[in-house]
Amino acid sequence: MGKYAVIKATLKAKLDELVERASAIEASMGTPGNSDWEENAIESEDDDVLLTIGDVTTSDIAEIRLAISRIDSGHYGQCVTCGKAISKERLAALPYATRCIDCS
């Protein structure tokens, strides 16, 4: 077990929850009768469709994936922008923080 095994498990659970929520929203948006959405969807790339679902959810998913990959690479807790350590208090409040207070 790695140093951040518990945090990683927590992040993965949160990630699963958000991915499930995003796909549920996507599914409900794709229901027949919503012709405007259907037409738009044909012209959109998958990423664009996801963005229309909700910026908060999709950016959270991206942040959590980044945090998990940084646990795997051994860089968890280090700011992606300036490279300084992210404070323990900040990580406790926001386990998937990838930037320090100054850079966020």
Stretch that binds Zn ion, among 45-53, 54-62, 63-71, 72-80 (CB under 5 A): 72-80
Contact flag: residue 82 with Zn ion (CB under 5 A): yes
Minimum separation from the CB atom of position 11 to Zn ion (A): 20
* End-to-end CA, the chain: 30
By CB under 5 A, residue 81 contacts Zn ion: yes
The per-residue b/e assignment along 93-104, b for 16 or more CB within 10 angstroms, e otherwise, is eebbbbbbeeee
**C-alpha distance from residue 5 to each of 2, 80, 93 (Å):** 5, 20, 17
What does R_g of the chain's alpha carbons equal in angstroms? 17
For Zn ion, the binding residue among 11, 18, 79, 97 (CB under 5 A) is: 79
Looking at the Cβ atoms of 50 and 100, the one nearer to Zn ion is 100
Binding site for Zn ion (CB under 5 A): 79, 81-82, 100, 103
